[in-house]
Amino acid sequence: MDEGQLLLFLTQVLVVLAAARVLGEVFRSFDQPPLAGEILAGLLLGKTFFGQLAPGAFAALFPDDPTQLALFDVTAQIGILFLLLVIGLEVDVASAWRLRKQSMSVAVCGVVIPLALGTGVAWFAYEGWSDGVVPKLAFSLFVGAAISITAITVVARLMFDLKIVKSDLGLLLLSAMAINELLGWLVLAIVLGMVGAAGHGGSGALGLLAIVGGTVVAAGVATTFGRTLTTRTLQWFDARGLPNPSTPLSFVVCLGLFCGVGMHAIGVHPIFGFLIAGVMAGDHRALSEHSRSVIAQMVESIFVPLFFAGICLHVDFAARFDFGQVVIVTALSIFGKFFGAWVGTLGVRMPAFDRLPTAIAHMPGGSMGVLLAVVGRRAGVIDEPLFVAIVFASIASSLVVGPLFSWSLRRREVFNILGMFPKKGLIPNLEARDRFGAIEELVRRACEVEPGLPEPALQQAARMREETMGTGIGGGIAVPHARLDLLERPFVLLGVSKEGIDWNAVDDQPAHLVFLILTPIDDADTQLEILGTVARGASRPEMRALTQCESPAQMWLQLQGMLRPQEG
């Protein structure tokens, strides 16, 4: 590689990254996933638009030179690997296990039903959709996997923006989609193993058996022993006072590289190894929310835009757009996952109002659908028209989920929560110095306000909920909550910590306002309304004034301003 090639590579990265980031932020400003803007940047800069408008300039900026293509391709490959690492960090195995009755039903139905639909359609469309090189079963299963997988990152960002990521509904959705992604990638690993085995003649059957067995064993070890060992290693780093977040960041990246090499050694695509590494390092007790945020921001601000924009540069989406395939794949992707998740909610005990948002949340393919399309095209499983159809379906499903999910939440009854704050439940100066101590202090006050409440049961319920998933929402606010059979009505207590309490929030800021939300066990709608109202009120000036209050009377006056319904 000479200096001219290096200069051209740097120019490519500059142009693509700048365009992808700008358009990604434009889409984000309209409450849409940045993924759509990043892919749009690739379409505008690639063969689809720029290559048709100015073919000479396009050839000069993105020549077909093998070295030049390899340079950008390697950068894109780094993006896809580290994106899977970040996604793996979102897979909370402990939470999924605690909610296994609910999350397993939703996740399995949300995968199996669209997987079966997609596999069946692809099986009958094999002659028209495939070139016949890939075995029929492998091709059909791949299409089914691409249709059935859900993008946890799209839904997690949506719930974060709506201020419900720390709610019980948020916990259920994240747990179900964590299982969904593991199942989807397990199917992908098996499909790629089938494709690889088909190319090894008579040893194919044994090779496929080894790949499937190795994949299942690797996933099992990662979610049990591997996760425990990784957690203890990260805790050891923290106990020794090693630099944070640089030390855990380096360790997690090295773990991803190690797992990628290991999975490749048994015949599985290295991308699955990075997902496994993320799962191993995802325990919230070992890796703080701030450290996760640092890793995610590094990947999402540089590598991910380059990857998603880069995949569109050398594909003419207009020329490869097959209307029939696009319509069928998009319909299967959206309605298949919706129907599958809806069926899953019918088999478990959950509030009726949560069934619709749960089903809607499983619709987006997002980055995961695009990733599967890229892996399938590079492995020779699908051709360019089907690649375009899967990418289109992934983007379309991600664009519609935001408005639909928000609408499903707005269907709940809107009310003023100020009446749920008992004046005796306002504590202007919490004595506790850690989050579990603050929860215990607020629960004791709750039992003074409502003398009939069983304090031990309430303490246990609130503590278990906090251990399952931290409730620090950032901005100096924490919202611990619990649901209990014996509660007849919901109510909220508020404690102020002048010094601040470390609540493991994503912005790494201490919590000064601690809202303890207590609701009856079958009343999830009220909990979501309270969480949303508190989070929206946090942007008002009264929130800062609350931390300066010296008496419950002063707190009550500020609460009235903070929680009053906004005009317009």
Whether the predicted pLDDT of 523 surpasses 70: no
Any residues with CB less than 8 A from the CB of 97 and at least 6 apart, and which?
Answer: none
Same domain, 381 and 486: no
Q: What is the pLDDT of residues 393-403, one digit of tens each?
A: 988 888 888 88
- Give the chain's domain count: 2
Whether the predicted pLDDT of 159 surpasses 50: yes
DSSP code of residue 566:
P
Same domain, 400 and 483: no
Q: What is the pLDDT of residues 53-95, one digit of tens each?
A: 999 999 999 998 888 888 887 877 787 778 778 777 766 666 6
Residue 499 has phi, psi (to 5 degrees) of: -80, -25
Read off the CATH number of the domain in which 464 is found.
Answer: 3.40.930.10
Looking at per-residue confidence, does 36 or 94 come out higher? 36
Q: Which pLDDT value is given to residue 205? A: 54
8 A C-beta contact, residue 5 and residue 68 = yes
Q: Which pLDDT value is given to residue 30? A: 81
Share of the chain above pLDDT 70, in %: 86
State the residue for tokens 């979102």. 90
Q: Does residue 5 lie within any of the structural domains?
A: no
Q: Does residue 2 lie within any of the structural domains?
A: no
Residue 380 one-letter amino acid: G
For the segment 538-542, the average pLDDT, to the nearest whole number, is: 67
Whether the predicted pLDDT of 567 surpasses 50: no
Q: Which pLDDT value is given to residue 386? A: 93
Q: Which pLDDT value is given to residue 202? A: 41
Return the SS3 of 518. Answer: strand
How many angstroms separate the Cα of 409 from the Cα of each of 48, 101, 403, 443, 559? 38, 23, 10, 29, 24
Q: Does residue 85 lie within any of the structural domains?
A: yes
The active-site residue out of 284, 362, 481, 512 is: 481
Compute the distance between CA of residue 338 and CA of residue 148 in angstroms, rounded to an integer: 10
Q: Which pLDDT value is given to residue 73? A: 79
Same domain, 227 and 261: yes
Any residues with CB less than 8 A from the CB of 16 and at least 6 apart, and which?
Answer: 41, 42, 45, 305, 306, 309, 310, 313
Tell me the pairing of strands 511-520 and 477-478.
parallel
Q: Does residue 355 lie within any of the structural domains?
A: yes
Q: Which pLDDT value is given to residue 524? A: 59
Asked if 481 is an active-site residue, the reply is yes
Q: What is the pLDDT of residues 95-118, one digit of tens each?
A: 666 666 777 888 889 889 999 999
Q: Which pLDDT value is given to residue 302? A: 85
- Quick one: which of 457, 435, 432 has its CA closest to 446? 457
Residue 481 one-letter amino acid: H
Domain final residue pick, 410, 430, 463: 410
Same domain, 274 and 213: yes
Q: Which pLDDT value is given to residue 207? A: 59
Among 183-197, 475-489, 492-506, name the one with the lowest average pLDDT.
183-197
Q: Which pLDDT value is given to residue 539? A: 65
Element (H, E) at 228: helix 227-239
Looking at per-residue confidence, does 411 or 230 come out higher? 230
Read off the CATH number of the domain in which 74 is found.
Answer: 1.20.1530.20
Q: Describe the chain by its helix, strand, coil percentages, rounded to 5.
A: 70, 5, 25
Q: Which pLDDT value is given to residue 123? A: 94
Domain final residue pick, 410, 426, 441: 410
Compute the distance between CA of residue 496 and CA of residue 511 in angstroms, rounded to an integer: 9
The helix-helix angle for 34-45 and 384-410 (nearest 10°) equals: 150
Q: Which pLDDT value is given to residue 166? A: 66
Q: Which pLDDT value is given to residue 568? A: 38
Which two tokens mark 396?
């379309």
Residue 325 one-letter amino acid: Q
Looking at per-residue confidence, does 72 or 155 come out higher? 72
- DSSP sequence for 405-460: HHHHHHTSPP--GGGG--GGGEESS---SSHHHHHHHHHHHHHHHSTTS-HHHHHH
Q: Give the model's confidence band at 201: pLDDT under 50 very low, under 70 low, under 90 confident, else very high.
A: very low
8 A C-beta contact, residue 535 and residue 517 = no
Q: Does residue 474 lie within any of the structural domains?
A: yes
DSSP code of residue 492:
E
User: Which structural domain range is residue 441 located in?
Assistant: 417-563
How many angstroms separate the Cα of 481 from the Cα of each of 80, 160, 467? 37, 17, 11
DSSP code of residue 91:
-
Q: Which pLDDT value is given to residue 473? A: 80
Cα–chain center distance at 341: 17
Same domain, 240 and 166: yes
Q: Which pLDDT value is given to residue 200? A: 44
Whether the predicted pLDDT of 204 surpasses 60: no
Q: Which pLDDT value is given to residue 203? A: 44
Compute the distance between CA of residue 286 and CA of residue 290 in angstroms, rounded to an integer: 11
Same domain, 468 and 548: yes
Q: How high does pLDDT run on average in the chain?
A: 82
Whether the predicted pLDDT of 553 surpasses 90: no
Whether the predicted pLDDT of 352 surpasses 90: no
Same domain, 94 and 153: yes
Q: What is the pLDDT of residues 302-329, one digit of tens each?
A: 888 888 888 888 888 888 899 999 999 9
Same domain, 200 and 119: yes
For the segment 213-241, the average pLDDT, to the nearest whole number, is: 84
Compute the distance between CA of residue 155 and CA of residue 172 in angstroms, rounded to an integer: 12
Q: Which pLDDT value is given to residue 298? A: 78
Whether the predicted pLDDT of 437 surpasses 80: yes
Same domain, 390 and 429: no
Long-range residue pairs from 291-298, CB within 8 A, at least 24 positions apart, any chain: 291/244, 291/245, 291/248, 291/249, 292/89, 292/506, 293/506, 293/507, 293/508, 294/245, 294/249, 295/85, 295/86, 295/89, 295/245, 295/249, 295/252, 296/86, 296/89, 298/249
- Quick one: which of 392, 325, 333, 403 has its CA closest to 362? 333
Compute the distance between CA of residue 340 and CA of residue 555 in angstroms, rounded to an integer: 47
Whether the predicted pLDDT of 384 surpasses 70: yes
The helix-helix angle for 66-89 and 289-298 (nearest 10°) equals: 160
**Torsion angle defined by CA atoms of residues 402, 479, 562 and 509, in that order, rounded to the nearest 10 degrees:** -90
Compute the distance between CA of residue 151 and CA of residue 159 in angstroms, rounded to an integer: 13
Same domain, 339 and 488: no
Q: Which pLDDT value is given to residue 16? A: 93
Same domain, 158 and 96: yes
Q: b/e map of 96-134 (b: 16 or more CB within 10 Å)?
A: bebbeebbbbbbbbbbbbbbebbbebbeebbeebbeeeb
Q: Does residue 66 lie within any of the structural domains?
A: yes
State the residue for tokens 């997988």. 149
Q: Give the model's confidence band at 532: pLDDT under 50 very low, under 70 low, under 90 confident, else very high.
A: confident
Q: Does residue 303 lie within any of the structural domains?
A: yes
Residue 7 one-letter amino acid: L
8 A C-beta contact, residue 555 and residue 494 = yes
8 A C-beta contact, residue 235 and residue 286 = yes
Domain final residue pick, 410, 436, 463: 410
Same domain, 167 and 182: yes
Q: Does residue 324 lie within any of the structural domains?
A: yes
For the segment 416-428, the average pLDDT, to the nearest whole number, is: 83
